[in-house]
Amino acid sequence: MATIFQEHQAAFDKQAAYFTAQRESFSLKERKALLKSIAKWVTSHTADIQAAIYADFRKPAPEVDLTEVKPITDEIDHTISHLNEWAAKESVGASLATFGTQAWMEYQPKGVCLIIAPWNFPFMLAIKPLVSALAAGCTAVVKPSEMTPNTAALISKMCSELFDDGRVVVFEGGVEVSQSLLELPWHHIFFTGSPQVGKIVMQAAAKNLTDVTLELGGVNPVIVDSSADLNDAVTKLTWGDFMNAGQSCMSPNVIYVHKDLYSLFLSKIDETISKMYGSNTDEIAESGNIACVVNEKHLARLRKLIDESVDAGASIMRGGEIIEEHNFLAPTVLRDVPPSAPVNTEEVFGPVMCVAKYENLDDLLAQINARPRPLAVYVFSKKQAIIDKVLSSTVSGTACINDTTLPFIHPNLPFGGVNTSGIGRSHGKAGFLAFSNQRSVVKQRRGITTTKLIYPPYKKQTKQTIDLVVKYL
Ligand code: NAD
C-alpha cells in the first residue's frame, strides 16, 4: 500500500504532467469557465456549506452567507471581469542602451501550487486562493484544516465533482498530511494560518526555493481617541470583535480607549452586546447569533488567556461563562487590561473583547511599535491629525479608520501582513499575481544593434564606444 507521501508525490507528478501537457489549453476563457463552475456550485450548495460549518462550530447561517459564500462569489465576479486586463502583456519603453528593442512583461502561471488553509473561515480561506490559482492558470493541491472536518469533506466533494485531479485535488487531514505535502517542490505555496506554522512552511519552502504567500495571524491594536464618535465606534467594535466568535485574523486584539471616554465606552459596550447577542448565557448560546469556539483545545487556550490576563490585573466585566457541550464561550469583556497581560502580544482569536485605558498617544504608539507588526491597525477618531499620526507612526499589513475588518473585503485592495503577520499579498489582482510568474521579455532586432558595438575585441574604437556608453547612457 502506498504511504501518504507516495500518494502526495503521485498527485504532484500527475499535476506537473497535466500542467506541462495541457497548459496551452488553460486559456482565459477556460479559466473563467472553471471559476464560473465554482460560483455555480457554491450558489447551489449554500445550504450544505451552512450545514457543514454549523456542524464544525455552530456558525450562524447568515454569517456563513456573509463571510464564507459571498466573498467567494464576489471574488469570482471580480476576477472574471478583470482577468483579461490583469493577464494582458504590459509593454514598457526602451532606454538609449536598449534602443530599437521591444519589451514587455507577461504573466505566466507559476505551475503546480499548494494551498494550505486554516479552520477559522474554513470554506472561504481554502477556496479564495484557489480562485486566484485557477485565474492565473495554475494547478492546485488544497489542504483544508483538520479542525473543521465537515467543511474539509465538503471542499473535497466540491473539487472532485468540478475538477480533473490533474488540475485540482484536495487532501484532507492534519499536520502529518501538511508536512508530507510540504516535502514536495511546489512552484508556489499559499499558506493561511498561524505565524508559528508559517515559519515551518517557509523553512520547508526554502529547501526548494519555492515562493510563498504567508497570510498569518494578527495581534491588531485598536485606538479609540477622545474625539471618536462613541456610539458608532462601540457598535462597529462589538461586531468586529464577536463576528465568527472573534475567530478572525482581523479581529481587534486589545482596544485602547482614551481615558476621557473609558467609562462611557465600557457601559455602552455592555448595552450593545446585550442588544446584539442577548443578556444571559443560555439565551445567547441558543440565539443563533454567535458561533462557538472551534474545539476544546481552543476553549482551554482561551480560558487560560483570560485567567492569565486576570492574574496580570485585568477584570472580567461580563461573560466568561462556558457551555462545554458546544465549546461555547459567552461574549466576554476584559477591562483594565494592563500592558503586561498576554493579550497584548498573543492573538486572542475568540469571543473575548479586551479593553485598556490610555492617556498619552505617544506612549501607546511606543508600546505598539515595540511589539511584532500587526495585520491591522485600527483608529477611531474625528481628528485628521490623530489619524495621520497613528498611520505614520505604525507599520502593519493593513489599516482601517473608523471601522474594522474592511481591508479584507475591499475588492481593490491587496491583502496581507508584514513580517510576523505575513509575507506577500492576496485577493483580486494581488492574488492573481501571487500565482503568476511575471516574465520580462525583450525582443531584439536582427542585424545591426547598439549592443553589438561593445562586443570584444576591445580595440581602440570599441573602448571609445564603451567610454561613451558608461558616461552618457
Ligand atoms: P494553524 O497554523 O494551526 O494551521 C493552519 C494549517 O496548517 C492547517 O491546515 C494545519 O493542518 C496546518 N498545520 C498545522 N500545524 C502544522 C505543522 N506543524 N506543520 C505543517 N502544517 C501544519 O492555524 P489555524 O489555527 O488553523 O488558524 C488560525 C491562525 O490563522 C490564526 O493565527 C489566524 O490569525 C491565522 N489566519 C490568518 C489569516 C490571514 O488572512 N492573514 C486568515 C485567517 C486566519
Q: Which residues lie below 8 Å from residue 215, measured CB to CB, with a gap of 6+? A: 125, 190, 191, 192, 193, 249, 415, 416, 417, 422, 424, 426
DSSP state of 142: E
C-beta 178 within 6 A of ligand 1: yes
User: Which strands sit side by side in the sheet containing 112-116, from one edge to the other?
Assistant: 168-170, 139-143, 112-116, 188-192, 211-215, 422-423
**How far is the centre of ligand 1, averaged over its atoms, from the C-alpha of 190 (Å)?**
11
Question: What pLDDT does 450 receive?
Answer: 82
pLDDT at 241: 97
24 counts as catalytic: no
Instruction: Out of 146, 178, 298, 348, give the residue to mutate to test ligand 1, the one with the largest number of ligand atoms within 8 Å of its CB.
Output: 178
Identify each DSSP E strand in 162-233 by its residue range.
Answer: 168-170, 188-192, 211-215, 220-224
Task: Say if CB 71 and CB 409 are below 8 A apart.
Answer: yes
How far is residue 359's CA from residue 19's CA, in Å, rounded to a whole number? 58
- How would you write 122-181 as a 3-class SS string? CCHHHHHHHHHHHHHCCEEEEECCCCCHHHHHHHHHHHHHHCCCCCEEECCCCHHHHHHH
**pLDDT in the model for residue 273:** 97
Contact 162, 185 (CB under 8 A): no
State which ligand 1 atom lies nearest to the alpha carbon of 116: 9
Query: Which ligand 1 atom sits closest to the C-alpha of 201?
Result: 20
Quote the distance between the C-alpha of residue 338 and its chain's center. 29
Hey, which of 197, 248, 249, 349 would you mutate to test ligand 1's pocket, going by the most ligand atoms within 8 Å of its Cβ? Answer: 197
Q: Is the CB of 146 under 6 A from ligand 1?
A: yes
pLDDT in tens, 208-257: 999 999 999 989 999 999 999 999 999 999 999 999 999 999 999 999 99
Averaged confidence pLDDT in the chain: 97
Per cent of the chain over pLDDT 70 is 100
Q: pLDDT tier at 97 (50, 70, 90 boundaries)?
A: confident
Mean pLDDT for the stretch of residues 62-73:
98
**Predicted confidence band at 397 (pLDDT cuts at 50, 70, 90)?**
very high
Compute the distance between CA of residue 306 and CA of residue 341 in angstroms, rounded to an integer.
9
CA distances in angstroms from 212 to 204, 422, 435, listed in the order given? 10, 10, 10
User: How many other C-beta atoms lie within 10 A of the C-beta of residue 51?
Assistant: 16
Best probe residue, ligand 1, of 119, 142, 194 (max atoms within 8 Å of C-beta): 194
- Ligand 1 center–CA 129 separation, angstroms: 14
| Distance (Å, whole) CA 56 – CA 253 | 24
CA 398 remoteness from chain centre: 11
For atom 30 of ligand 1, which residue has the closest CA?
193
106-117: average pLDDT: 98
3-class DSSP assignment, residue 3:
coil
The yes-or-no answer on residue 249 being catalytic is yes
Residues 6+ apart with CB under 8 A from 417: 214, 215, 216, 218, 373, 374, 375, 396, 397, 398, 423
Q: Is 171 in the pocket of ligand 1 (CB under 6 A)?
A: no
What is the CA(439)–ligand 1 centre distance, in A? 31
Q: How far is CA 352 from the centre of its chain?
A: 21
Closest by Cα among 402, 409, 357 to 379: 402
Write down the catalytic residue from 113, 138, 249, 354.
Answer: 249
- Please identify, by atom number, the ligand 1 atom nearest to the C-alpha of residue 121: 43
Q: Is 117 in the pocket of ligand 1 (CB under 6 A)?
A: yes
Measured CA to CA, the distance from residue 381 to residue 232 in angstroms comes to: 11
- Residue 452 · residue 250 · CB < 8 Å: no
Of the given ranges (73-87, 158-172, 438-452), which has the lowest mean pLDDT? 438-452
Find out whether the beta carbon of 199 lies less than 6 Å from any atom of ligand 1: no
| pLDDT tens digits for range 80-92 | 999 999 999 999 9
Structural domains of the chain, ranges and CATH numbers in brackets: 4-216+423-437 (3.40.605.10), 221-414 (3.40.309.10)
Atom number of ligand 1 nearest to Cα 182: 20
Nearest protein Cα to ligand 1, atom 9:
145
Residue 337, Ramachandran bin (φ over 0: left; ψ between -120 and 50: alpha; else beta): beta
From 215, 347, 354, 400, the catalytic residue: 215
Closest of 447, 449, 429 to residue 438, by C-alpha: 429
- Report residue 1's pLDDT band, with 50, 70 and 90 as the boundaries: confident
Q: Do 386 and 250 touch, CB atoms closer than 8 A?
A: no
Expressed in percent and rounded to 5, the helix, strand and coil fractions of the chain are 50, 20, 30
Are 141 and 181 in contact by the 8 Å Cβ rule? The answer is: yes
Q: Is the CB of 174 under 6 A from ligand 1?
A: yes
What is the tens place of the pLDDT at every residue in 17-52?
999 999 888 999 999 999 999 999 999 999 999 999
Report the pLDDT value the prediction gives residue 26, as an integer from 0 to 100: 92
Of 26, 17, 13, give the one whose Cα is nearest residue 435.
26
Q: Is 56 in the pocket of ligand 1 (CB under 6 A)?
A: no
SS3 74: helix
Query: What was the pLDDT predicted at 25?
Result: 86
Query: Cβ atoms within 10 A of the Cβ of 388, count?
Result: 12
Half-sphere exposure of 83 (CA within 13 A, CB side): 25
Which residue from 297, 256, 290, 252 is spatially nearest to 274, judged by alpha carbons? 290
Does the CB atom of residue 60 touch ligand 1 within 6 A? Answer: no
pLDDT at residue 398 greater than cutoff 80? yes
Per residue in 310-333, pLDDT (tens digit) is 999 999 999 999 999 999 999 999
pLDDT band (50, 70, 90) for residue 451: confident
Q: What is the model's pLDDT at position 96?
A: 84
- Whether 193 is in the pocket of ligand 1, judged by its Cβ within 6 Å, is yes
Nearest CA to ligand 1 atom 43: 249
Q: Which atom of ligand 1 is nearest to the CA of 173?
A: 11
